[in-house]
Amino acid sequence: MKLEVLCNEANYSSVLECIFNSANSKVDTICTPSGLLSRIDESLIKEHCTFSAIVDYPYGISDTTVRIHDIILAKRRGAKSIDLVINRHDLESSNLASIRKDFKACLAACSEYEISLRPVIEYRLSDWAFVMDLCHSLKANNSSEIIIGTGSMVDDLTDNIICCKTIEDQIHIPVVSCSPILNQEHYDIFYKSNIYTQYMNKTVFTEFKNVCLDVVNNEDKAMFIKLYQFCRNNL
């Protein structure tokens, strides 16, 4: 199983911390919103990490021209692949034609600049039948991997695993799961599922785990306030 880290922190020091932690945890890829790539020194990208740029995160509602512009900028800034968030309005309305048109245009841009493209589907916005039709269509349009979930919505670990395994088994395409892993038990469950790749917000997970341990060991009001504030700011 591969491991990728989602780093969507807003400041440069947090990005560097994520790079350091990932390098020490044998992470395969660091994924960041495309705008953050400009803050990362090019030598770090070349020598230490493989970077994937998340375009139009987290809602995918920008115009196709804007998304293509982001793809080109991400390539110039050192990204090795593009994670393209599928438009949430198209998912909610089951507009397969609109999604296919946008994806083909973005894929053409990626092909021109020799960079791979992975669609990101927030599967909870649509019904299951449409999600499966969409995955079939994306595979037919040369998608080599599909990412399930953005990590920006409330999700259920079991639901996510079932969704990923069904897509892998029935459509025969590698799936990257962006599932809500918050503790070791969750990770063990996911690991046993044998899904192709886990897409994890490692920075949030580490901090969440530490805060929870503080609450268990010190049952006082201050620690519960700390937990509340963290969840409000990060989840």
- Domain with residue 106: its CATH number is 3.20.20.70
Q: Give the C-alpha distances (Å, rounded to integers) separating 198 from 82, 133, 151, 189, 190.
A: 16, 23, 12, 12, 8
Claim to verify: residue 177 and residue 103 sit in the same structural domain: yes
Give the tens place of pLDDT for each residue, 33-85.
877 777 776 566 555 567 899 999 999 999 999 999 999 999 998 888 999 99
Question: What is the domain range of residue 231?
Answer: 204-235
Claim to verify: residue 95 and residue 210 sit in the same structural domain: no
Say whether pLDDT at 208 is over 50.
Answer: no
Domains contained in the chain, number: 2
Claim to verify: residue 29 and residue 96 sit in the same structural domain: yes
186 burial (CB, 10 Å; 0-12 / 13-18 / 19+) is middle
Claim to verify: residue 144 and residue 128 sit in the same structural domain: yes
Claim to verify: residue 164 and residue 192 sit in the same structural domain: yes
* Prediction pTM value: 0.81
d(CA 12, CA 36): 8
Claim to verify: residue 120 and residue 53 sit in the same structural domain: yes
Claim to verify: residue 144 and residue 230 sit in the same structural domain: no
Residue closest to 183 by CA, chosen among 205, 215, 160: 205
Claim to verify: residue 172 and residue 83 sit in the same structural domain: yes
Say whether pLDDT at 98 is over 90.
Answer: yes
d(CA 4, CA 131): 23
